[in-house]
Amino acid sequence: MSEKAVRNMKIKSLCLHGVDDPALNSMVDFKVAARSNSREELRLALTSVRPDALIIDLDSPTALDALADTREILPEIAIIGVTGETDPKFVISAVRAGCKQISPKPLDVNDLLVAIRRALNDTSSQVTGRVIGVMAATGGAGATTIAACMVMGAAEATKQRALLIDADFDFGGVARAWDLKPEHTVADLLSAGSLDPVLLEKAVVEVPGNVAILARPKTIDEGHAIDDTMMSMLVQTAKTVFPTVVVDFPHKLDGVVWAALQQCDKLVIVIQMTVPAVDNCVRLLSALTSLGVPAEKIEVIVNRYRKNVHFISTELIEERLQKKVMGLVPNDFKSVCAAIDMGRPIPADNAVRTAVTKLAAKLIGIGDEAVVAKSGWFAKLRIRAS
Ligand X SMILES: Nc1ncnc2c1ncn2[C@@H]1O[C@H](COP(=O)(O)OP(=O)(O)O)[C@@H](O)[C@H]1O
Query: Which stretches of the chain bind ligand X, using CB under 6 A?
Result: 136, 139-145, 173, 303-304, 329, 331-333, 336-337, 340, 352
333 Cβ neighbours under 8 A, 6+ residues apart: 304
Nearer to ligand X, 14 or 352 (CB): 352
Closest separation between CB of residue 334 and ligand X, Å?
Answer: 8
Report how far Cα 147 is from the mean position of its chain's Cα atoms.
13
Nearer to Mg ion, 103 or 144 (CB): 144
CA distance 193 to 175: 24
Nearer to ligand X, 142 or 243 (CB): 142
Nearer to Mg ion, 145 or 244 (CB): 145
* Stretch 20-49 residues interacting with Mg ion (CB under 5 A): none
Distances (CA, A) of 284 to 240, 287, 296, 384: 29, 5, 15, 21
CA distance 78 to 115: 10
Chain position whose Cβ is nearest to Mg ion: 144
* Stretch 89-148 residues interacting with Mg ion (CB under 5 A): 143-144
Size of the site for Mg ion (CB under 5 A): 2
Closest separation between CB of residue 332 and ligand X, Å?
Answer: 5
Nearer to ligand X, 38 or 171 (CB): 171
Say if residue 226 is exposed, middle or buried (CB neighbours under 10 Å; 0-12, 13-18, 19+): buried
User: Which x/- pattern, by CB under 5 A, does the window 173-212 give for Mg ion?
Assistant: ----------------------------------------
Closest separation between CB of residue 186 and ligand X, Å?
Answer: 17
Is 330 in a helix, a strand, or coil?
strand
* Stretch 224-263 residues interacting with Mg ion (CB under 5 A): none
Neighbours of 295 (CB within 10 A): 12
Question: How do strand 211-214 and strand 205-207 relate by DSSP bridges?
Answer: antiparallel
Closest separation between CB of residue 182 and Mg ion, Å?
Answer: 17
Is 115 in a helix, a strand, or coil?
helix
Evaluate whether 64 touches 90 at the Cβ level (below 8 Å): no
CA distance 297 to 323: 12
Neighbours of 37 (CB within 10 A): 15
Q: CA angle, 172 as apex, 231 and 140 as ends, to 5°?
A: 120
Nearer to Mg ion, 104 or 173 (CB): 173
Closest separation between CB of residue 382 and Mg ion, Å?
Answer: 26
Closest separation between CB of residue 168 and Mg ion, Å?
Answer: 5
336 binds, among Mg ion, ligand X, none (CB under 5 to 8 A by kind): ligand X
303 binds, among Mg ion, ligand X, none (CB under 5 to 8 A by kind): ligand X
Nearer to ligand X, 19 or 301 (CB): 301
Cα-Cα-Cα-Cα dihedral of 316, 318, 319, 321, to 10°? Answer: 120
Nearer to Mg ion, 138 or 357 (CB): 138
Closest separation between CB of residue 39 and ligand X, Å?
Answer: 54
Closest separation between CB of residue 198 and ligand X, Å?
Answer: 31
Nearer to Mg ion, 143 or 241 (CB): 143
Closest separation between CB of residue 143 and Mg ion, Å?
Answer: 5
Q: Whose CA is closest to 13, among 61, 77, 84, 92?
A: 77
Closest separation between CB of residue 207 and ligand X, Å?
Answer: 17
Q: What are phi and psi of 271, to 5 degrees?
A: -125, 165
Neighbours of 122 (CB within 10 A): 16
Evaluate whether 270 touches 142 at the Cβ level (below 8 Å): yes
Evaluate whether 181 touches 212 at the Cβ level (below 8 Å): no
Nearer to ligand X, 36 or 303 (CB): 303
Q: Which positions lie near Mg ion, rule CB under 5 A?
A: 143-144
